[in-house]
Structure 1
């Protein structure tokens, strides 16, 4: 991939840019932000780490949306972050106007690109971008499940003492308090999680996963998470750039899968060079399906709010 542009040079955007440059996942990383001089300063700081991390990826920033031109992938991390006590849905009204403007810039300067949404509430804003652009669902998708699954894996590692490298997890649904961790599809080096942990400990991990972002926000006080989100975005970019066809939980537009349509939420996706190449429809049990439907209802209520904001 030649060029990736990150919209929003906040902490998530900056961390993502640093990782993309270090791992040389493209030849050029561009940062776009409306704050005067900020993206240029961040780009310069990242470039000065090149001798240490031995990369020669070009990094630059601008306040001019024309920097989006010729982007193969645009990562949108712009908008207002939530504060302690706020849910992701609480920033919808503030962020919808930001995302609409960003979307218009993308359509004007990078009409052939793919869009990876990170801004919250990510399910609703992914839906919004897809509707506003009219682009196919393989080109507009969001990051959430990769991060949530990573958090769940780290909690399992802490609980069991096993290496996080051997832990595979799956989290579906909306990126919020109604997300659906699915322990039945979680394993430690292929062995089901239930072999190692009793049901009450698994339930505790599921609940901590749902509150994972809020836990960090409460501890940091003046900042939400950005290291793990940046790494999660980079993992998705790696799958696309290297056409790995990885099975990852991503926010995708549903067209009947899991009994849902006209909605965007987290499901297992095959991620490759064309973006979301397909969606895997797991056979959920009664409880899992009920939880997924509840999560879909929560996302749909946010989508309904979009009509009031317009």
Structure 2
């Protein structure tokens, strides 16, 4: 019935030189589906595969999303696995893992999530040997390091979402305080995506104007107690944001979905953006063999280089402490 509508012509076929952008999202929970939705409406991939052990749920999600394709730039969307539908993907995004419970720290999730990753990574290594791996599952820095070790991939192709979302929260709260657009605030959260993360107050600025007075030896010490309290309250709100959201709605998903999309666009379009991603650190600030969030330049190959921030003595000590905590957790694992 439908065949008569079209006349086949080789001139209408896609040129062989155009290679579709293909992605896989593993994990169709709240975070995974927020990533999928954001990736779709921002036209990131030509082909996107969703994998989850709950196969019927994934099929339902795909059916629902497919009905919205007339409203967006079309993407070939499939439910399936890396082995059957996701072979030779450019990027594999892993959001699978145990859900974080109210009051539970990200680091408490480690043992459960390592077991899940061991099941996932075998097929990725086999069927997507050239892919960039983007880890979103928490605790993201530990899981990025675990992925690096289990996969055997080069370190520049194993990336964690790091403190990209924390940095966005930081800039958003500062922008609200200053009554300006958050995109005009330049400030970073570095280190662990978690309780030991570090606010880099010493370089935080708006239009090149630093938020803290630029005086030695440590500008923080030159602030009044009330000023220190005000800045600390902003950072505490950033650090505890996930806990507060989880307490109210049970999970976080929308903002991390947007953050992941920002990372993916930077990679696929080779933007050489600076994002506070988690990747292997060896030698920066005297830190070795750990994955944590630092300002990182990314392009189509993955991690290109890390920015050497001029940290205050206090910030450098805090960063080293964050790395020490992460290394301590990894050393306790049966891995």
1:206 aligns with 2:231: no
Instruction: Report the counterpart of residue 13 of structure 2 in structure 1.
Output: none
1:111 deviates by 1.2
Instruction: Report the counterpart of residue 12 of structure 1 in structure 2.
Output: 31
Normalising by structure 2, report the TM-score.
Answer: 0.87
**Segments ≥4 residues shifted beyond 3 Å:** none
Cα distance in 2, alignment partners of residues 84 and 178 from structure 1: 19
Cα distance in 2, alignment partners of residues 305 and 228 from structure 1: 31
Contact 1:21-1:59 within 8 A present in 2 as well:
no
Instruction: Report the counterpart of residue 47 of structure 1 in structure 2.
Output: 66
Residues 239-250 of structure 1: pairs in structure 2 closer than 5 A: 239-250=266-277
Instruction: Report the counterpart of residue 136 of structure 1 in structure 2.
Output: 154
List runs of 5+ in structure 1 lacking aligned partners: none
Which deviates the most, 54-63 or 119-128? Answer: 54-63
Which deviates the most, 236-245 or 252-261? Answer: 252-261
1:236 aligns with 2:263: yes
1:188 deviates by 2.6
Residues 1-310 of structure 1: pairs in structure 2 closer than 5 A: 2-52=21-71, 54-62=72-80, 65-194=83-212, 198-220=227-249, 223-306=250-333, 308=334, 310=335
Which structure has the larger Rg? 2
1:163 deviates by 2.0
Cα distance in 1, alignment partners of residues 196 and 267 from structure 2: 28
Which deviates the most, 10-19 or 183-192? Answer: 183-192
1:91 deviates by 1.0
1:199 deviates by 3.3
Contact 2:277-2:296 within 8 A present in 1 as well:
yes
Number of equivalent positions: 304
1:40 deviates by 1.7
Per-residue deviation, residues 127-181 of structure 1 (Å, max 9, x unmatched): 0110112211110010021111011112112222222232222111011100011
Contact 1:36-1:63 within 8 A present in 2 as well:
no
1:28 deviates by 0.8
Cα distance in 1, alignment partners of residues 240 and 185 from structure 2: 20
Per-residue deviation, residues 26-62 of structure 1 (Å, max 9, x unmatched): 101110001121222112222222223x211111112
Cα distance in 1, alignment partners of residues 56 and 116 from structure 2: 19
1:73 deviates by 0.3
1:65 deviates by 4.1
Cα distance in 2, alignment partners of residues 113 and 241 from structure 1: 12
Cα distance in 1, alignment partners of residues 273 and 145 from structure 2: 22
Contact 2:82-2:124 within 8 A present in 1 as well:
no
2:37 match: secondary structure? helix
Cα distance in 1, alignment partners of residues 157 and 328 from structure 2: 24
1:190 deviates by 3.2
Contact 1:37-1:63 within 8 A present in 2 as well:
no
